[in-house]
Structure 1
Amino acid sequence: MDRTDSPTVVVLGSVNMDLVTTVPRRPAPGETVLGSDFATVPGGKGANQAIAAARSGARVRFLGAIGDDAFGSELAATLSRADVDISLLRRVDGASGIASIVVDETGENSIIVVAGANGRVTDLTAAELAAIAQADILLCQLEIPIHTVLAAAQHARASGTVVALNPSPFQPLPEELWAAVDVAIVNSLESEQYSGKLTHVAHLVRTLGGDGAVYRGTDGNERSVGGRTVEVLDTTGAGDAFTGALVATWNRGISTALNWANTAGALTTTRLGASSAIPGRDRIAAALTAD
């Protein structure tokens, strides 16, 4: 398979409309808090990571589903504007996925996700399987049915395509899926939740929020990259930006990929929203050059 500076990445995952409310503090159970702002922002872990990979220079094709509502049209247009190939994006009857997000004045967030059309991605077509087989990297998350993720990962492994998994949101996963994973990208909490399973993954990347990230490879040794000092406005989508940027630069070596991804994640926190806040190549490169 041809490996170039612009790898081909297939992202199989969710696409949601994020309904973002900004508040001074997140409400306690039963409490009403007055918000200061509201916005609708295209998101979903799969779509966010696809956009991040494309903005970091990868050739990206997205596999997933939107509804036949107004949100669906906007979500498709957002992916297309980010130079993500949506030729295989499905449009199904019913509502698109949504995420209701509350962001407090420190930038921390709480999120409720309703799957909508994402829950309808229950199998893979011949065209989707072919796209996976032809890609350099398959990137998956856990916001669509797990058996579809498993089928994609096993097909990718059999085809020589690198399988990257961001196992979020947390849920128990079949051993067959872990066996097909080449690269796992987890945050600190997920690292604890999946601790017994991650030992056998060849490449493990653990994000540490504002403290950077740590990589453990096949030799068992760890390499780390420190956090970047930025003015945090909203942490929504920072992990997705990191993950997409990581796979987009994976073939450039782990040191380059870690630094690039860490910078992409940090810069995302300086703007409100998820996909709208993900930086492009020029902004990431400028921040790295300034170090």
Structure 2
Amino acid sequence: MSKVLVVGSINMDLVAQVDQFPRLGETLFGQSFATHHGGKGANQAVAAARLGAEVTMIGRVGDDAFGQELKTSLAAEGINTEWISSSANTASGIAMITLAGSDNAIIVVPGANADLTPADVIAAESAFLAADVVIAQLESPLATIEMAAQLAQRHGKPFILNPAPAMPLSAELLKQITLLTPNEFELSIALGTPENAWQAALQHYPGQILMTAGQDGAWYTNAAGELQQQESFAVHAVDTTGAGDTFNGALAAFWHLGLSEASRLACAAGALSVTRAGAQGGMPTLAELNAFLDGVQGKTGDEK
């Protein structure tokens, strides 16, 4: 399996279930409350680790109880936490999530994630040397992600960027990215192009963009600029939270198999993850993924 280096965010998700959202100044009773380990970086690290990759993570937590719990949890998944630092007098990143029926309202407070600096990445340069592939997201400061891209390029390591949350990307950063993994909206924001022009965007960057498309699977172009589709896997969805992070973590874990096979396995892992509740809670192990693929006998889309 690939040796995966993840540069990214680590959060604690605080989830409250209610019948309806409170109005301004109103206090309501909720039905349930739970905490879940999250953050796009941590999610992708866990997804890759469960699929058998050797994972190292660069990130920051606060010097609070959440920070200690989050770091301990990542270590329990077999992830190397040597380069996860604690920020003094700072809270760990959190997401406050209120669920009412099928709707949600979310407040994200970056906390210590905002303290992850280019210097932190430079200090972990040895981790880049040891990695087979580097993956990052955009919940960390952009300057830090740009430094990660530079180090990956310096040491000849593939650099995967999941551009979420969506933001414009510089031409210089785009040159350093081996593979960009947006959805259609994130692609248009990253490149500054119309959403309906995604096919032209993929062909303009042959082999450099893999666009996720929900039930339509994923689209990419080969080195010749020919459009390719990896069809989705039909499942009964229980909770779609974390499906994209599962996809990206799996893509990194299976990177050594080539883009076509890695995207097939990533789509399968992402589909399997939505059959269970929770982001990290729904992420499959390698054994579970293999059993799932054996069950569908390699078929895709509606053929399953």
Instruction: Tell me whether 1:168 sits opposite 2:164 in the alignment.
Output: yes
Matches of 1:38 and 1:140 in 2, distance apart? 30
- Who is 1:139 aligned against? 135
Partner of 2:153: 157
In 1, the alpha carbon distance for the partners of 2:125 and 2:69 equals: 26
Matched position secondary structure for 1:89: strand
1:28 Cα deviation from its structure 2 partner: 8.8
**Normalised by the size of structure 2, how large is the TM-score?**
0.86
- Aligned ranges 1:80-99 → 2 under 5 Å: 80-93=75-88, 94-99=90-95
Alignment map for 1:69-108 (pairs within 5 Å): 69-93=64-88, 94-103=90-99, 105-106=101-102
Q: 1:245 aligns with which of 245, 250, 264?
A: 250
Which letter maps to 1:80?
Answer: A
Q: Percent identity?
A: 41
The offset of 1:179, in angstroms, is 1.2
For the pair 1:218 / 2:223, whether they are aligned, the reply is yes
* CA separation of 1:261 and 1:130: change in aligned 2, threshold 3 A: same
TM-score (norm 1): 0.89
Distance, in Å, in 2 between the alignment partners of 1:240 and 1:230 is 18
Does 1:187 pair with 2:183? yes
SS in structure 1 of the partner of residue 4 of structure 2: strand
Distance 1:84 1:287, change over 3 A: same
1:51 corresponds in structure 2 to 46
Q: What stretches of structure 2 of length at least 5 have no aligned partner?
A: 194-200, 297-304
Which of the pair has more CA radius of gyration?
Answer: 2
Considering Cα pairs closer than 8 Å and 6+ residues apart, tell me whether 1 or 2 has the greater RCO. Answer: 1
Tell me the residue number matched to 2:4: 9
| Counterpart-to-counterpart distance in 1, 2:275 and 2:19 | 17
The one-letter code sitting in structure 2 at the alignment partner of 1:285 is N
Query: Secondary structure in 1 aligned to 2:57?
Result: strand
2:239 aligned residue: 234
1: CA distance, partners of 2:275 / 2:32 = 17
1:116 pairs with one of 98, 111, 118:
111
Alpha-carbon spacing, 1:144–1:178, altered in 2? closer, same or farther (3 Å)? same
Q: Work out the CA distance in 2 between the residues paired with 1:33 and 1:235.
A: 27
The one-letter code matched in structure 1 to 2:74 is L
1:172 Cα deviation (Å)? 2.1
What secondary structure is seen at the aligned counterpart in 1 of 2:209? strand
Cα distance change of structure 1 residues 268 and 221 upon mapping to structure 2, 3 Å threshold: same
Does the CA-based 8 Å contact 2:169-2:191 persist in structure 1? Answer: no
Cα separation, partners in 2 of 1:21 and 1:219, compared to 1, 3 Å: farther
**Is 1:181–1:201's contact at 8 Å kept on the other side of the alignment?**
no
Using the alignment, how far apart are the partners of 2:104 and 2:235 within structure 1? 17
